[in-house]
A = this chain, B = another copy of it.
Amino acid sequence: MATARLTRTDSKTRTRTELIAAARRVFMRRGFHAASLEEIAEEAGFTKGAVYSNFAGKDDLFLAVLDEQYSQRTEAYAKLMLAPEDIAEDIEVMFRAIARFMLDAYAREPAWWSLVSDFSTHAARDPELRERLRATRERFIAAIAQLITSVEERHGIRYRVPATEVARGTGALMRGMTVEWLIDGSAANGEVFEEMLAAYLRGLAEPTH
């Protein structure tokens, strides 16, 4: 049994990781405002002080969760969009695969998107926090834009707006729709969303040559 003796650095890293994971779950469960540091600390098996020993406060903790999530999402999108066969052949198939990927992520974690909305409006009110969020988000958008550019080249198409904006719009459509679903579960089902996103991407794309 006995937990292996850890160095201070290792044990702190571990605490930090566990706090982020717990925070993620609690934020999802309660939303940004209603999630309390008390519950997060308890969920991770610590006390609130541990949070302050590892993070500057609630906002900083959330940003850590966000950063982690964006890394994971970037990887997952890369796997999907750079897939060497199937999906990659027909651009329309790709559009729909992206829509389904998002819907699937939503099915697993329906609270995620509105959580980001809540934090964003909160962060927008504090210039310093807002700048930190902007930087984190920009890294994510840039990574997705990179993938979009690869797809453009491979399929011989060009979007009428910069790749970063294609990425932003895709996320925006999804984020907006999750708010609808939150309030009315019967609104636009998966097929309809697939159609919407495909329409958006198809409408923006033009063949090159």
What is A's interface to B at a CB cutoff of 8 Å? 31, 33-34, 114-118, 120-125, 130, 133-134, 137-138, 160-162, 165, 168-169, 171-177, 179-180, 182-184, 187-188, 192, 195-196, 198-204
Contacts and interface: CB of A to CB of B under 8 A. Distances in A.
Given A188-B168, A192-B161, A198-B203, A31 B125 contact: yes
Contacts of A204: 195-196, 199, 203
B183 A177 contact: no
A54 to B, nearest CB: 25
B177 A134 contact: no
Contacts of A179: 116-117, 120-121, 172, 175
B114 A183 contact: no
Nearest to A117: B117
| Oligomer copy total | 2
Q: Specify the main secondary structure of chain A where it touches its partner.
A: helix
A176 B171 contact: yes
A38 B54 CA distance: 36
A19 B204 CA distance: 44
A101 to B, nearest CB: 17
Contacts of A203: 198-204
Contact of A165 (B134, B137, B183, B187): B187
A99 B188 CA distance: 21
Q: Which residue among A117, A124, A195 has the maximum number of chain B CB atoms within 10 Å of its CB? A: A117
7 contacts: A117-B117, A160-B195, A161-B192, A169-B176, A171-B180, A199-B199, A199-B202
Contacts of A125: 31, 34
Given A33-B122, A121-B182, 15 more contacts: A31-B122, A114-B121, A116-B179, A117-B179, A120-B179, A124-B182, A134-B184, A165-B192, A165-B196, A169-B188, A172-B177, A172-B179, A173-B173, A199-B203, A202-B203
B188 A165 contact: yes
